[in-house]
Structure 1
Amino acid sequence: MASLRQTPLTCSGHTRPVVHLAFSDVTESGYYLISACKDGKPMLRQGDTGDWIGTFEGHKGAVWGVALNPQATRAATGAADFNAKVWDAIKGEEVHSFQHNHIVKSVNFSIDSNHLCTGSNEKLVRIYDLNKPEAAPQIFSGHTSGIRHVTFFDNNSALITCADDKTLRVWDRNSGQEVKRLDFPAIPSSMEVSKDGNIITTTHSNIVTFWNSKELTKIKEFMVPTQVNSASLHPDCTIFVCGGEDFKMYKFDYNTGAELESFKGHFGPVHCVRFSPDGELYASGSEDGTLRLWQTIVGKTYGLWRCIEQTPAIQENTTVINNKQEVPAS
């Protein structure tokens, strides 16, 4: 396997930068991937192959945030048309639309799929009861700039947010009050909560930091070779991946911070990265308008990948789509 190079699968179809992505959990029919794009047309794909399933049509502005519920039966999107929408992910139909007063940057489902949280440039977080969509949402205020990311946390009893005011905050759902806070020297560009809920991964400048989610104490912090826009921790917490302004995807040892791999596949800055729920691959979205799927263990037979020996005709930017080798134009 030492002679093999990373061979990402390229998922095309978007016409503008891909700015966010999210996976479902593993279901009886596999797992799924949704992407947010400035073209206003979020797309649903089969997670392990990247095969296009459908496009959610209805937003009238750039889509900034996306989410799938664990079962992949519902999708959520937040957009520059000041709306957050919930969709039937099987039929592709709009189920709910929630009007805001500014751009909606982030959306996420509760674990039981009964509630939706949103974060917007209004500096507010909202929680909607999807069983009572006409009811007024619960509102959390305190951030002083637009909110970048929001997610449910601690068995849905809390929320975590990060914003352009250079803070990360934890909110108690019952009281609606901020209970913990972290201040950063620069705007936190991404935030991820581990599957077990114990570790929060953040990025800012060229730094990836891992936090104990209960106490908000720093576990580890590593500098990476580029301004980093997004990072994701493997489900078994042995490695993490990240990407940013130099177009590369990096893989690091979580325990030591040693760089394990770096691959250039995108033709623009990397905006978002996430590991699949089974940890076999990670996905990246870029300014170049594509999603790419990367193998966690290079050369392993999985999804559409097959073992390819390195030859002069097959370089690191080669893509494999539907088992056909294609070399993109430089």
Structure 2
Amino acid sequence: MEKKKVAVPLVCHGHSRPVVDLFYSPVTPDGYFLISASKDGNPMLRNGETGDWIGTFQGHKGAVWSCCLDTNALRAASGSADFSAKVWDALTGDELHSFEHKHIVRACAFSEDTHLLLTGGIEKILRVYDMNRPDAAPRELDKAPGNVRTVAWLHSDQTILSSCSDMGGVRLWDVRTGKIVQTLETKAPVTSAEVSQDSRFITTADGSSVKFWDANHFGLVKSYDMPCTVESASLEPKSGSKFIVGGEDMWVHVFDFFTGEEITCNKGHHGPVHCVRFAPGGESYASGSEDGTIRIWQLSPPNADDNEAVNSNGKPTVGVNEVARKIEGFHIPKEEEQQQQQAEG
């Protein structure tokens, strides 16, 4: 019998209660970062590549349900059961603003241009705070139909999407009018909604199903039934050929996007997996669990036949983008990576 190689993750300790949300920053000149939300009330910032602890944001008096970083990873935000959303200086850890709510804040998200912070929660109200005028009253959108569970921006901050913890569906809001313009129907409440890095897809987890929606025309692209109740799903950002799922069975599953077949199943957590997210380069992904740990897993190495896309000097024979799509985990030297980012603009 050939012994199957078991993936050994980086295990990040530090939280004393369940980890309920994870968020990766885009790649910045200083690398990329991972922030985690936990019921222990202390969001933590880590180096996204190594998982090394950088700092803890201290100030909340209740469980933290949601966390995010702005595009430059200079500011962090968190939504908490202490009826507040806080904005932090991600370099010093200092609290910059505390926005008081009348009930638990379940979700928060910075706009792409970093000027706005969106919050939602048990109050059923989506609020938009202007980071340039933090003392001004927030803008409130039309009332949401249920308790807000997730929020995200898309279409260059022209559209907001939200899901509710007590009913199915993802609602799309027109930011200009503050009204719902479309609902993506699901049977069960959507516990995770992610906009892909290239803004083409919305990935949702509801009940025991993972769905992929066209983010521009809002049609359902793919829907896969999962082996268990899932809480979170994330699409590989570079090639879009794989997706990961975490849920009640305590495992982190990797699936083929095109066929829905399982590629890998990572075991190691000692409790349900509440959140999974791909790193911005797609070479690794993180999972957060009821067991209080974060685990960072490497995507399996490229297949030997994929290496045909690289010539004898190790240089790509086709465009960098195409190679990155074909060879997951292919390491692009820093200079080329920056040129590629500038080219993608």
Question: TM-score with structure 1 length normalisation?
Answer: 0.88
Residue 313 (structure 1) aligns with: none
SS in 1 for 2:126: strand
Whether the aligned pair in 2 keeps the contact of 1:6 and 1:299 (CA below 8 Å) is no
Q: Distance in 1 between matches of 2:220 and 2:87?
A: 35
CA contact (8 A) 2:126 2:144 kept: no
Q: Does 1:201 align with 2:212?
A: no
- Mark the runs of 5 or more structure 1 residues left unpaired by the alignment: 301-330
1:198 shift after superposition:
1.2
Which of 208, 227, 230 aligns to 1:228? It is 230
Corresponding residue for residue 67 of structure 1: 68
Deviation per residue, 1:16-75 (Å, 9 max, x gap): 000001000111111000000000000000001100000000000000000011211000
Between the aligned partners of 1:186 and 1:58, the Cα distance in structure 2 is: 34
Distance 1:298 1:10 in 2: 20
- Alignment of 1:187 onto 2:189: yes
User: Which residue matches 1:214?
Assistant: 216
**Who is 1:307 aligned against?**
none
Which residue of structure 2 lines up, in the alignment, with residue 262 of structure 1?
A: 265
Question: The residue matched to 1:278 in structure 2 has which SS?
Answer: coil
1:298/1:15 Cα in 2 relative to 1: closer, same or farther (>3 Å)? farther
Instruction: Supply the distance in 2 between the matched residues of 1:213 and 1:105 (Cα, whole angstroms).
Output: 23
What is the CA-CA distance between 1:152 and the residue it aligns to? 1.3
SS in 1 for 2:141: strand
Of the two structures, which has the highest relative contact order with CA contacts closer than 8 Å and spacing of 6 or more?
1
**What is the deviation of 1:3?**
5.0
| Pair 1:276-2:279 in alignment | yes
Residues 268-308 of structure 1: CA deviation (Å, up to 9, x unaligned)? 000000000011100000000000000112599xxxxxxxx
CA distance in structure 2 between the aligned counterparts of 1:119 and 1:20, rounded to whole angstroms: 15
Taking the aligned partners of 1:157 and 1:274, their CA distance within structure 2 comes to 24
TM normalised by structure 2 equals: 0.85
Distance across 2 between alignment mates of 1:120 and 1:275: 25
Q: Is the 8 A contact 1:4 1:298 kept in 2?
A: no
For residue 173 of structure 1, what is the amino acid of its counterpart?
V
Structure with bigger helix share is 2
Q: State the Cα deviation string for residues 76-132 of structure 1 (Å, max 9, x = none).
A: 000000100110000000111100011001111111111100011101101000100
For 1:110, the equivalent position in structure 2 comes to 111
Deviation digits for residues 173-220 of structure 1 (CA, Å, limit 9, x no counterpart): 111111111232111111100011110001111110000112221000
CA contact (8 A) 1:108 1:151 kept: yes
CA distances 1:228-265 after superposition (whole Å, capped 9, x unpaired): 11000001210000010000110000011111011211
Percent identity among equivalent residues? 49
Segments of 4+ moved more than 4 angstroms = none
Q: Distance in 1 between matches of 2:72 and 2:17?
A: 28
Query: Does residue 41 of the first structure (1) align with residue 42 of the second (2)?
Result: yes
Superposed CA RMSD in Å reads 1.5
Structure 2 stretches of 5 or more lacking a match?
A: 304-345
**Counterpart in 2 of 1:166?**
168
